[in-house]
Amino acid sequence: MMQLLSQEYNRSITGYYPLYKEGSALSTIIHPLIDFSRYFEDETSVFIRKLKKISRLERLYYFHNPDEVKRFLLTHEYLIEYLFEAYDQIRKIFGEDIEVHLEYEIDLEEEWDELFIVIKSPYPSEKAIELERKLFEEWFVHIIDKLNNKLNFTEEPL
Amino acid sequence: MGKKYKNPPIVEALCEFQFVPSQPWDITIYGMLYEKIKDEFPVKQQQVGFGVAVQPREGGVLEPKIEFGPPQMQFFSNDKISLVQVGPDLLTVNHLRPYPTWGKFKPLILKIFGEYIDIANPKGFRRIGLRYINKIDFDQHEIELMDYFNYYPSIPNNLPQTYKTFQVTVEIPYNNERDTLRLTFATIIPEKPKVLPLLLDLDYIMIIPEGIALNELPDWLEDAHTAIENAFEACIKDNCRKLFEEVK
């Protein structure tokens, strides 16, 4: 008897098409599996592309509460492109010795929820504040109107 | 598919063409095609391709880096339910939920394809794919897969038989290996808590470049659609048909 459980954290989205490995247990294969390692930009399905993009984001960001972050991204799809953009902008300004996290915050009483990019940097507080301000002025201020108060960022010590 | 359902699980149907070009890609093709189809697909959007590559840093640390791919144009219908995607030697016709029936989708594919070949004049097909993506939601904490499906992972008896995620893919050759049916069954991210969504992805592909001539497309589409219909019905059991509310 085989059972399948529902899950809070579904990892199957990650690498929807895994790389095929020689010696796989699939005994009925008579032709090598093809095309499994396609980047999602080659993905022409709108539905699957969205899932693959979320999977790619998980390689860039550390998802604090992965179920909630993924669900939020599925229902606020327009944020996905901004998160790719954010990753590049943050590294341009903060450098490479940082970690970037994604955290879903919700306040049920206030009926408010939002995704936070948490930049964990090794800098002293003055320098970190300066870089945070620079990120705001050079990038965030230009897109803030398009985010519907659903994405924000903050800095924390590493 | 095949049988009629009141609540079909299709979330997207698409037909993808990759072409063998007869000349270098001409960027004016985007504009010329848009002129031809803009009454049905007026909403333009550029799709920028992102990829995440891993590059080594000092000390052997591997670091993800964003890479950009060639842009594609997307032309949406006003309701954003159907779209045409165009890139270098690439054409895709997509239809999202609600699926309009094969009787309407096939003529749409052929119409867009006809407009494209008049403009781009490709030498032949490199690859064709007809694909149906089904999402089946269960409002249950757990299900017995074999109650609903004939296609599922086989777990050795000496391992626990309860699991959370899976993904199985097989490729079944058709027409002397000119075509293949890629059949994927997997768990995906739930959009709501306590919902168990499963993906059944049926992708019928001509994998041999120039395996058919351009004018043989209508027959190929019909064969591909029949293979997908048969595979879909073979994968599901009557309990699934009840969920989809079969119309008899």
Which pLDDT does position A35 carry in this prediction? 35
Its domain, for residue B211, covers 1-14+131-248
Which pLDDT does position A126 carry in this prediction? 94
Q: Are B186 and A12 in contact (CB < 8 Å)?
A: yes
Q: Name chain B contacts of A45, Cβ cutoff 8 Å.
A: 12, 14, 94, 131, 133
Give the integer Cα–Cα distance in Å for A49 and A41. 8
pLDDT surpasses 90 at B235: yes
- pTM of this prediction? 0.84
For residues A97-101, give the mean pLDDT: 94
For residues B193-200, give the mean pLDDT: 91
Q: What percent of chain B has pLDDT over 70?
A: 90
Which pLDDT does position B55 carry in this prediction? 66
For B135-171, letters b (16+ CB in 10 Å) and e give bbebeeeebebeebbebbeeeeeeeeeebbbbbebeb
Which pLDDT does position A27 carry in this prediction? 33
Closest partner CB to A30 (pick from B90, B140, B173) = B173
Residue B150 lies in a domain: yes
Q: Where are the alpha helices (DSSP H) in chain B?
A: 28-37, 102-120, 145-148, 217-235, 238-244
Q: Which chain B residue's Cα is nearest to A9?
A: B189
Residue B157 lies in a domain: yes
Residue B227, Cβ neighbours under 10 Å: how many?
18
Handedness of CA A147, B70, B93, A38 (dihedral sign): negative
pLDDT surpasses 60 at A2: no
Residue B100 lies in a domain: no
Lowest-pLDDT range, A13-27, A101-115, A134-148, B203-217? A13-27
Taking only the tens place, the pLDDT of each residue in B61-117 is 666 666 666 678 999 999 999 999 999 999 999 999 999 999 999 999 999 999 999
Q: How many domains does one find in chain B?
A: 1
Q: Are B171 and A33 in contact (CB < 8 Å)?
A: yes
Between the CA of residue B193 and those of A45, A150, B138, B140, what are the distances in Å?
25, 20, 11, 10
Q: Are A2 and B57 in contact (CB < 8 Å)?
A: no
For an interface test with B, give the residue of A24, A26, A41 to mutate (most B CBs within 10 A). A41
pLDDT surpasses 90 at B36: yes
pLDDT surpasses 50 at B215: yes
Q: Are A2 and B193 in contact (CB < 8 Å)?
A: no
Between the CA of residue B90 and those of A137, B127, B201, B218, B240, what are the distances in Å?
39, 10, 21, 18, 35
Q: Name chain B contacts of A46, Cβ cutoff 8 Å.
A: 12, 83, 94, 96
For residues B12-33, give the mean pLDDT: 94
pLDDT surpasses 90 at B18: yes
A15 pLDDT band (50/70/90 cuts)? very low
B141 pLDDT band (50/70/90 cuts)? confident
For residues A71-98, give the mean pLDDT: 94
Q: What percent of chain A has pLDDT over 90?
A: 64
Q: Name chain B contacts of A1, Cβ cutoff 8 Å.
A: 144, 146, 161
- B194, A7 in Cβ contact below 8 A? no
B58 pLDDT band (50/70/90 cuts)? low
Q: What percent of chain A has pLDDT over 70?
A: 74
Residue B51 lies in a domain: no
For residues B33-48, give the mean pLDDT: 93
